[in-house]
Structure 1
Amino acid sequence: MNNVIETILQHRSVRRFEDKPLDREQIEMIVKSAQASSTSSFIQAYSIIGVSDKQKKQRLAELAGNQSYVAENGHFFVFCADLYRHKMIGDLENADLSDSLESTEKFMVALIDTALAAQNAAIAAESMGLGICYIGGIRNDLEAVKKVLKTPEYVVPLFGLAVGYPDQETDLKPRLPLEHVYMENEYEQDQNVLEQQLKEYNKTTSDYYLERTGGKRADTWTGQMAMMLGRKSRMYMKEFVEDQHLNKK
């Protein structure tokens, strides 16, 4: 096992950071690593907004559900699906690109490009001894986030990435068993097999929580997911995305 794989397999979310900012070299290296990610047809359909202004970080923390680590970290990055520059390309090249830019396919390209770039950034940061935490909570109110970041049309802030020097030791949370996620040649056809794997994983997660909380919690994964997915969340998203002229066709 090499150092890169060790870094990946040791990933855990960090939610408490030292009061120490990242320096410019660290920030630029993380962004350059993000830019080195794969991108569909070289479209590079994302932008990264670094937030260092304390008032803006505090506002984003409030919008994300009062998560303190959005404001208190070494640096806060916001990853955005971005086809605005491609709209500008249409203007520069005297070409009507609206049908393509507003399609579901190009929206998916932007989402995938952004996620790939962010994961490169996360691994780069962790390889430097930093901790990270993805922040989906900024999608609680994207109209307000737009005002904070002043993003134009064709841009959707997807998630934040809090990065900094860890000020806590966190546990490695067990993932789904490999055989439940990786399948050879076709999707597993036997539902009984899938159900048994889920039951075994429930035992793993329950044991994890029991040990982590000293016997106070024994959550199963399927129980957690049923509760979470049973709640309506951010149901305004389709309208917001379409208002940005994305995912309309």
Structure 2
Amino acid sequence: MNSTIETMLGHRSIRKYTEQPIEQHQLDTIIQAGLAASSSSLLQVVSIIRVTDKDKRQLLAQYAGNQAYVESAAEFLVFCIDYQRHALINPEVQADFAELTLIGAVDSGIMAQNCLLAAESLGLGGVYIGGLRNKVQEVDELLGLPDNTAVLFGMCLGHPDQTPEVKPRLPAHVVIHENQYQSLNLDDIKNYDQSMQSYYANRSSNQKQSSWSQEITAKLSGESRPHILTYLNRKGLIKR
């Protein structure tokens, strides 16, 4: 096993940071790692907004559901789908197809993961902030996003001030299918639920009595940000 794989397997979400800033050369390296990520047809439909303004950070923390680490992290990056520059290059660009929104979301995720892995390889830590979509229109206006551009998620980065445990994942044989989709063995989920119950009960912070099945049921049994489609349509995206 090499150091790259060790970094990947040791991933943990970091939500508490020291006051030490990230050096400019480190941030430059992180961004360059992101820019090196795969891009569908080299469309390069991602923009990153680095938020350094303290007042904006405070508002973004509130919009994300009062997640204080959005404000306290050394760096906060917002990843956006961006077809605006393509439309400016040529007004015949049609960015409102659902496929293009999917490409923007996929490319943003790939770029962001490159950034996070680069940061972790430098001894830094981070966490994704999907909570920006709770108040996505407010975030959009705060950051001054034009048409054909939309907020996807944020990312906190900084020097870790905590050492949380690595959260268990579903076993590979549940996720990997060979040649065709395989039926789920619910015994595998029961075993995984037991692993997650033990993890939640024994982790160093935010202990709780819950299983993975209970957590995903709570998450997926109700509405999930129903305003998102309207927001994307208003930005000129995913209309057809």
TM-score, normalised via structure 1 length:
0.93
Match of 1:77, SS state, is strand
Runs of 5+ consecutive residues of structure 1 not aligned to the other structure: none
Query: Do structure 1's residue 150 and structure 2's residue 150 form an aligned pair?
Result: no
Query: Do structure 1's residue 240 and structure 2's residue 231 form an aligned pair?
Result: yes
Task: Output the CA distance in 2 between the equivalents of 1:217 and 1:161.
Answer: 25
The CA deviation at 1:185 is 1.3
Query: Do structure 1's residue 14 and structure 2's residue 18 form an aligned pair?
Result: no
Task: Output the CA distance in 2 between the equivalents of 1:145 and 1:64.
Answer: 9
The CA deviation at 1:210 is 2.0
Equivalences for residues 90-129 of structure 1 within 5 A: 90-91=90-91, 96-98=92-94, 101-129=95-123
Contact 1:61–1:70 (8 Å) recurs in 2: yes
The CA deviation at 1:125 is 0.3
- Give the root-mean-square deviation of aligned CA atoms: 1.5
Partner of 1:137: 131
Q: How many residues align?
A: 240
Aligned match of 2:175 in 172, 175, 181?
A: 181
Structure 1 segments of 4+ aligned residues over 3 angstroms from their partners: none
Task: Output the CA distance in 1 between the equivalents of 2:223 and 2:11.
Answer: 29
Partner of 1:67: 67
Task: Output the CA distance in 2 between the equivalents of 1:171 and 1:2.
Answer: 21
The CA deviation at 1:231 is 3.0
Query: Do structure 1's residue 84 and structure 2's residue 69 form an aligned pair?
Result: no
Q: Identity over aligned residues, as a percent?
A: 38
Task: Output the CA distance in 2 between the equivalents of 1:58 and 1:209.
Answer: 30
2:189 partner amino acid? L
The CA deviation at 1:213 is 6.3
Task: Output the CA distance in 2 between the equivalents of 1:132 and 1:37.
Answer: 18
Equivalences for residues 24-43 of structure 1 within 5 A: 24-43=24-43
Contact 2:164–2:204 (8 Å) recurs in 1: no
TM-score, normalised via structure 2 length:
0.96
Task: Output the CA distance in 1 between the equivalents of 2:89 and 2:46.
Answer: 15
Contact 2:165–2:204 (8 Å) recurs in 1: no
Task: Output the CA distance in 1 between the equivalents of 2:197 and 2:204.
Answer: 11
Match of 1:218, SS state, is coil
Contact 1:12–1:173 (8 Å) recurs in 2: yes
The CA deviation at 1:9 is 0.4
Contact 1:20–1:73 (8 Å) recurs in 2: no
Contact 2:149–2:235 (8 Å) recurs in 1: yes
